[in-house]
Amino acid sequence: MDFVRSIPLLSNLLLVERNGMTFLDALPILQNGILAGLLVALVSAFLGVYVILKRIVFVSAAISQISSLGVACAFLVAAMLGHHASEVKSQFLSGPGLTSVVFACLAALLLARQVSEKRITRESILGIGYVLPAGLTLVVLDLLSAEAHAIEDILFGNSVFVSVEQLRVQAVTAVAVLLIHLLLYKEFIFTSLDPETATACGMRTRLFNRILLLTIAFTIAVSIMSIGALPVFAFMVIPASAALTLTERLGPAFFLSVAFGVSAALVGFYLSFVFSLPTGPAMLATAGVFLIPGGARTLLHRWRLVGSPTG
């Protein structure tokens, strides 16, 4: 404590008080939630570069909603069997966590298939995959109105306290997904950016596309249980979008996206404590700040083109 007080900036940040408790005092309670948020932000922001480059934002949105429906269904079945929401929430691997993963992975495999029916486009399927699960989730919430708060904590990211078991699953998921992407980095990049050429070269483009979508789906499903569906989707889209407006090179784009995501998670969590805000929306709003430099750069570039003699 004396060491913290000796550094003015650190002291101002860590000793800020809320409801009679400083942030430093609350760290032992909040540390699992902070670590889970950082892991989710790191992996989601990394995968987000693929999501933006492949233009599958609505695929990830649909998977997120379908995964959320899996969580809601787990609570519904448990309630029908006479279990309380707090019991279900604590059973991560055998309860909502399992149904979330199953729903998300099945959705990824279905959405990875090529649509041959001309009357039903891929956009139509994505729209149905987003709206229908969202509506069904709301129906389940209404049916379980007495336990809706516990479910909303998971779906909308107001859950600060993460169990040790949940944190371990999140860490294992992060390591596994990043390892897969390390081993298949060239294949994922080639098949994502130039699928026609990759297919012509004999690469199994559809297989790699399915694997990529499965890693995204698995990450979304596990992460929803840690910080909620809304911030997970935000970490998939916002940091990568901010990074790609600042650079066109893939290496720096991955680095910037991860840096923005991790920073948003850390700062957002801190702000949620200081101002008593919901954790998920606070992280989402913080991530949005990183869009400003890229937006300013884009506007400046357009103004220069308009003002140039050839513009």
Architecture field, domain 20-306: Orthogonal Bundle (1.10)
- Which has the minimum average pLDDT: 21-30, 101-110, 182-191? 21-30
Using the predicted structure, report yes or no on whether residue 67 has a pLDDT greater than 80.
Answer: yes
Q: Are 44 and 219 in contact (CB under 8 A)?
A: yes
State the average pLDDT over residues 174-183: 96
pLDDT at 117: 52
Percentage of the residues of the chain whose pLDDT score is greater than 90: 41
State the average pLDDT over residues 125-138: 88
Separation between Cα atoms, residue 42 and residue 259, nearest integer Å: 8
Tell me the per-residue pLDDT of 3-22, one tens digit each, with 9 for 90 and over.
Answer: 555 566 555 666 676 777 77
Which pLDDT band holds residue 126 (cuts at 50, 70, 90)? confident
- Look at 307 and 213; give whichever has higher pLDDT: 213
pLDDT at 254: 97
To which residue do tokens 């979330």 refer? 100
Tell me the per-residue pLDDT of 245-297, one tens digit each, with 9 for 90 and over.
Answer: 999 899 999 999 999 999 999 999 999 888 888 888 899 999 999 999 988 88
Which pLDDT band holds residue 68 (cuts at 50, 70, 90)? confident
Q: Compute the radius of gyration of the chain from its Cα atoms.
A: 21
**Burial per residue of 30-49, b for 16 or more beta-carbon CB atoms within 10 angstroms, e otherwise:** bebbbbbbbbbbbbbbbbbb
- Look at 77 and 242; give whichever has higher pLDDT: 242
Tell me the per-residue pLDDT of 114-124, one tens digit each, with 9 for 90 and over.
Answer: 655 556 777 88
Which pLDDT band holds residue 310 (cuts at 50, 70, 90)? low
Hey, how many other C-beta atoms are within 10 angstroms of the C-beta on 185? 12
Angle, alpha carbons 186-295-45 (nearest 5°):
35
pLDDT at 166: 85
Tell me the per-residue pLDDT of 136-177, one tens digit each, with 9 for 90 and over.
Answer: 988 888 887 766 666 666 666 556 678 888 889 999 999 999
Separation between Cα atoms, residue 291 and residue 293, nearest integer Å: 6
Distance of CA 234 to the CA centre of its chain: 6
Q: Are 134 and 66 in contact (CB under 8 A)?
A: no
Closest CA to 132 of 62, 77, 230: 62
Q: Is the overall model pTM greater than 0.85, yes or no? A: yes
Separation between Cα atoms, residue 160 and residue 34, nearest integer Å: 8
Percentage of the residues of the chain whose pLDDT score is greater than 70: 83
- Domain residue limits, the chain: 20-306
Which pLDDT band holds residue 188 (cuts at 50, 70, 90)? very high
Using the predicted structure, report yes or no on whether residue 178 has a pLDDT greater than 90.
Answer: yes
State the average pLDDT over residues 166-193: 94
Using the predicted structure, report yes or no on whether residue 179 has a pLDDT greater than 60.
Answer: yes
Closest CA to 268 of 289, 248, 250: 289
